[in-house]
Chain A
Amino acid sequence: MPKALVIDDHASLTTMVGLFLSDAGFSVKAAVSGPEGLDKAMAEPPDVVILDIMMPGMDGYQVCRRLRSDPRTARAVIVALTARGQPVDVDMALRSGADLHMTKPFKGSFLLEEIERLCAERRPMMSPQGFQILVLELEEAVGATTLACNLALCLAAEGKHLTALADMAVASGQTADCLGLGAPDAWPTAPLEDTEGMVASLVRHSSGLFALPSPSKGNRPTPDQVNELLRVLREWHDYVIVDTELNLGPLAPTLLSSSTLILLLLTPEPKVLKTAQTSLAAIRRLGSPTLQIWPILCKAQSDQITTRERAEKALKLPLKMVVPWSPEEFEAAKAGGKPLVLGDPQSPLAAAIQTLAAQIVEATNMRPAQEAAR
């Protein structure tokens, strides 16, 4: 049964709206203040929030921003239901994160129609748990972090998919730098129990992407801790992109067994292609039987057809993509302090990453609820 939360300091209105929603099949909770509404939302994340704006203490705009900034509640459909009906008020509500602005007095049937429409648009075919995508490079400095960050931004773009980027390169993680974000001191030691600590470790990028940068202090996380972290992230997000250190390190079994898809970044260097088969065998051994592997060739500068053929022959797998290599693009993005897909979305590399994101969305939308198709 879908869950609704009605937040309005006018108790009779919460009752009336609650009745509409429960008649329509929602399980309804009510709150008469912003803080009470937030407490109830965090305790039991709703699918739909009907939110008054003019409330003493914490107004509806503040409540809306808080709901959107927490991954537990970020995907809820939020309807601002208010007597503030000027264009400037509509704009303010939408900028605060509401999906819809509706003025009082309102028609119950219209409210229900709009809620149903917004819920249907929300996550039409996603599985109950998010998809975890591991980005792994077979050689140093191929661009795994750049790809992971930009891919995550593409998936999160325009609020289409709630996406998290987890940096598992604990000693050397660079996702925080790539996105211009701070890093937490440490990750929660018991993520499943400590959801507040988990939320505090996540950093929300202005694009809407949630990032879990590698911690700046604290002990190296254990495989169990990482397993729990990723499980919580998959519960809260549609996609979890995992950036990791070269060769995965001691977290290899944990990361491979929990991932749905691995983006394997390699270069056309003979020594890389020679060892690629060994790497693939290890991945298949440690990964789940349904793990999909998408090899992606990077730094292919000359004669791409021959290079592609050589790589596919070495891997005994078709390449998913050949990423155009442009050192100038990387340097420009670094100098500008902005990821490529935000700073120069028309560039060939940014376009390739956008295409990759679209392919991932298509592949995961076609999945049955639990299994990946090969």
Chain B
Amino acid sequence: MSSIRSDIVAQAEFFTSTHRIIGEVPTGPKPLSDLLNDQSQSYLLAYNVYLSRLNTPGEIDAHAPVAYLSKANLSIVIVSSRETRSPDQGRFTEQEYEALATLPGIEVRGRFAGPRRIDLRSFSPAAIDPFLVLTGATALLTDLPEQPFQGDAILVSRSRLESLCLTE
């Protein structure tokens, strides 16, 4: 794929309620999760984007050299491990949970690092990061459950989260 910018770029798969969008985001030295969780900016610019409708996620329906992505309308983002921050070994990430997150049209299963005594109120959108990280994760489109989407990490939008189930 050709790049418009010569900065360090991250390639990721962005899912909205209707489309799968693969594109490159210039990130510089920070992981993409930092840019997504930066609440001072409501959007991302992605380059060399290829769009697919969710009912036919393998087909390429459109291409654009640049796209504006509204963070509020992203459901999940599939990234490689280098695009997330490793959980600090501290009080807030000392326990690993098996997690199942549901969003409109999507289920995500993966591992979530959290505190030993979890307060589920911390999962509200008003909490710290707009996107929570599930590692070693698999996403299923509920209309196409036989075609999983996998990634080192899947960033899940808290504002679009319908439910989060945690098992120790």
Contact = CB atoms under 8 A, between A and B. Distances in A.
B1 interface: yes
A83 B57 contact: no
In this complex, which of B13, B50, B144, B148 has the most chain A Cβ atoms within 10 angstroms of its Cβ? B50
Interface residues of A, number: 18
B22 A84 contact: yes
The 5 residue pairs across chains A and B that have the minimum distance between CB atoms: A92-B58, A88-B58, A88-B147, A59-B60, A56-B63
A9 interface: yes
Contact of B58 (A9, A54, A55, A89): A89
A54 B57 contact: no
B57 A88 contact: yes
Interface of B: 1-2, 11, 13, 22, 48, 50, 57-60, 63, 65, 144, 147-150
In this complex, which of A61, A84, A91 has the most chain B Cβ atoms within 10 angstroms of its Cβ? A84
Contact of B1 (A10, A61, A89): A10
Interface in A44-99: 52-57, 59, 61, 83-84, 86-89, 91-92
B149 A9 contact: no
Contacts of B48: 54, 56
B63 A91 contact: no
Contacts of B148: 86-87
A9 B1 contact: yes
A54 B65 CA distance: 12
Nearest to A8: B1
A83 B11 CA distance: 9
A56 B60 CA distance: 10
Contacts of B13: 86
A34 to B, nearest CB: 11
B122 to A, nearest CB: 31
In this complex, which of A55, A61, A89 has the most chain B Cβ atoms within 10 angstroms of its Cβ? A89
| Interface class of chain A by DSSP | loop
A228 B118 CA distance: 79
Nearest to A12: B2
A72 B149 CA distance: 36
A89 B52 CA distance: 11
A307 to B, nearest CB: 53
A87 B151 CA distance: 12
24 contacts: A9-B2, A10-B1, A10-B2, A53-B60, A54-B1, A54-B22, A54-B50, A56-B48, A56-B63, A56-B65, A57-B63, A59-B63, A83-B11, A84-B22, A86-B147, A86-B149, A86-B150, A87-B150, A88-B58, A88-B147, A88-B149, A89-B58, A91-B58, A92-B58
A14 to B, nearest CB: 11
A92 B59 contact: yes
A87 B2 CA distance: 24
Contacts of A10: 1-2
B1 A87 contact: no
Nearest to B65: A56
Nearest to B1: A54
Contacts of A83: 1, 11, 22
